[in-house]
Structure 1
Amino acid sequence: MKAKVLVDNITKNQWKAEWGLSIYIEYNGHRILLDTGTTEAFAENADQMGVRLEDVEFGVLSHAHYDHSDGLGEFFKRNSTAKFYLQKSAEENCYSRKNFLFKKYIGIRRGYLETYKDRIVYADGDMEVIPGVTLLAHRTPGLSGVGKKAGMYVRKNGRWRPDDFSHEQSLVLDTKEGLVIFNSCSHGGADVIIREAEAAFPGKQIYGLIGGFHLFRSEDQEVRELADRIRKTGIRRICTGHCTGERAMEILKEELGDMAEQIYTGFEIEV
């Protein structure tokens, strides 16, 4: 398995950066795209990196937020055949609460799900897309509490409710080193994501977790406690960025040492 970050919040080279994430993956001869960032930057970077988006066989949307889905239109313009896999509960209804009266829309660009309905496949829970590549839905109860604490809501049938991240999914790849998990924001908690994969694949070793950890607003002690829980899972490698945040990344490095790596536009990993 090889993966290359097409866009992230930071870059260490000439490629563009933005608040968003997109990762290109090669696995056993298959080409997969995870998310499309906020703009067409992921596609422009792909051109410069020599990644042919027209050769992508299928895409996966990690969750229904704009910074992972707004580039879908650009992808579908460049690739005329690939399907994109979303969780069944993914809708255009995600908001961030700034105060008690104001909620900002942070969901999939309105109209996209209808415009591209012929290119979208909805997974109802877990789904093996191809041998060794599985979409893993949340199976942990009580995640609406995490959504409420983070100020994230969905509007359903005219009512507001804390986001339980049922629209979020992990992309899990089975490799010779163990399972590699991609979860772009890990809203439910990075340790929760790892434990969900353990439960879904009993007896399988978890090698690594790649993606954002949504810690950019977290207190230092919260990050240290998370690092301890991650360590106790026995995972061997985490590669994180995007919504993790600079200060949280510093703490993860302090607590986890070399097993924690910063991702950035152009970052590559091979397992």
Structure 2
Amino acid sequence: MKVIALIENKAKGHLKSEHGLAVYIEYNDKKYLLDTGKTNKFSENAVELGIDLNEIDVGILSHSHYDHSGGYNVFFSKNQKAKVYIRKEAKELCYSKLGPLKRYVGIPKGILNKYSDRFIYIDKDYKIDEGVWLISHKYNNLESKGKKAHMYRMSKYGLKPDDFKHEQSLVFETKEGLVILNSCSHIGIDNIVKEVKKTFKDKKVLAVIGGFHLMGIIGPSSMGPTKEEVEFLGKSLTSLGIEHVYTCHCTGTPAYKVLKNTLGNKVEYFSTGTVIEF
């Protein structure tokens, strides 16, 4: 299994970066694309990295935010075969709200209708291929997570705190254990690991990859939770038996530094161009 960051907030060498995330995965002779970042930059990096988007077999959208779905126009123009798996709750409804100020942060308007034949809407847990799964959130009352993160979804009654039912985890089975990818982990990466462990009973979780949404309201240069809360998260991942933690994007720089101090060599930053092999 090979995992490569096609776009992320930071970049190696001459590769492009942006506040977004797109991940390329090779597994059992198939090629997968998780998200497409905020713009078309992921596709330019793919060329630099020798990755042909036309060869992608399967696409997955982790959740309904613009910084993960902004590149679908270019992806569908380059790839004519891959279907993209999204949750049935994935709609153009997501907003951020701070006091009276609100901002649309959802999937670019019109994408879902324009490419309606390319998206596959799924419910509950779903097996894509042998050893490849999409895992839904099982926790109740997740609206409290949305409210704390200032994230909302438009309803017929107006804006309601996001319950993140549009978010999903991508899980691969390897001989050494499960590899979990969740691009923003809005309900908490520790809770996501617990969801996966409950679904795959008696299976070890080898690694987690993705953003942990620990940044503050002004972005990746800030930190939302306290230092003690981030340290507790790091210790929780250790207690859950996680051997490798690759984080990026919405985790933010201050929180990453705390995690690094807590987890040491167990955690690495997953910047654009990073290659992981299991």
**TM-score bracket for the superposition, by shorter chain length:** over 0.9
CA positional deviation for 1:90: 0.4
Aligned counterparts of 1:179 and 1:46: Cα–Cα separation in 2:
26
Which residue pairs with 1:258 in the alignment? 265
Unpaired segments of 5 or more residues in structure 1?
none
1:78-93 aligned within 5 A: 78-93=78-93
Which residue pairs with 2:228 in the alignment? 221
Aligned length: 270
Aligned counterparts of 2:181 and 2:270: Cα–Cα separation in 1:
13
The one-character-per-residue Cα deviations of 1:233-266 (angstroms, maximum 9, x if unpaired) are 1111110000111110100010011111101000
SS in 1 for 2:117: helix
The residue type equivalent to 2:20 in the other structure is G
CA RMSD of aligned residues (A): 0.8
The residue type equivalent to 1:225 in the other structure is F
The residue type equivalent to 1:265 in the other structure is T
| 8 Å contact kept, 1:9–1:17 | yes
Which residue pairs with 1:235 in the alignment? 242
The one-character-per-residue Cα deviations of 1:49-97 (angstroms, maximum 9, x if unpaired) are 0000000001000000000001111100000111000000000000001
CA positional deviation for 1:158: 3.8
Aligned counterparts of 1:67 and 1:125: Cα–Cα separation in 2:
24
Q: 2:274 aligns with which of 264, 267, 271?
A: 267
The residue type equivalent to 1:228 in the other structure is K
1:60-139 aligned within 5 A: 60-99=60-99, 101-139=100-138
| 8 Å contact kept, 1:88–1:125 | no
Which residue pairs with 2:55 in the alignment? 55
| 8 Å contact kept, 1:137–1:170 | yes
SS in 2 for 1:50: coil
The residue type equivalent to 2:207 in the other structure is G
| 8 Å contact kept, 1:210–1:240 | yes
SS in 1 for 2:90: coil
Aligned counterparts of 2:21 and 2:188: Cα–Cα separation in 1:
18
The one-character-per-residue Cα deviations of 1:194-240 (angstroms, maximum 9, x if unpaired) are 00000110011100100000111122222112112212111111100
Aligned counterparts of 2:235 and 2:120: Cα–Cα separation in 1:
37
SS in 2 for 1:203: coil
Which residue pairs with 2:219 in the alignment? none
Aligned counterparts of 1:233 and 1:47: Cα–Cα separation in 2:
37
The residue type equivalent to 1:186 in the other structure is S
Aligned counterparts of 2:101 and 2:230: Cα–Cα separation in 1:
28
Which residue pairs with 1:246 in the alignment? 253
Aligned counterparts of 2:67 and 2:250: Cα–Cα separation in 1:
10
Aligned counterparts of 1:80 and 1:171: Cα–Cα separation in 2:
22
Unpaired segments of 5 or more residues in structure 2?
217-223
Aligned counterparts of 2:247 and 2:24: Cα–Cα separation in 1:
15
Aligned counterparts of 2:140 and 2:13: Cα–Cα separation in 1:
41
CA positional deviation for 1:44: 0.3
List structure 1 runs of 4+ shifted beyond 2 angstroms.
none
Which residue pairs with 1:4 in the alignment? 4
CA positional deviation for 1:12: 2.1
SS in 1 for 2:202: coil
SS in 2 for 1:186: coil
| 8 Å contact kept, 1:62–1:183 | yes
Aligned counterparts of 1:104 and 1:225: Cα–Cα separation in 2:
32
1:171-182 aligned within 5 A: 171-182=170-181
SS in 1 for 2:198: helix
Moved more, 192-201 or 139-148: 139-148
State percent identity of aligned pairs: 46
SS in 2 for 1:261: strand
CA positional deviation for 1:7: 0.4
SS in 2 for 1:86: strand
Which residue pairs with 2:140 in the alignment? 141
Aligned counterparts of 2:101 and 2:259: Cα–Cα separation in 1:
33
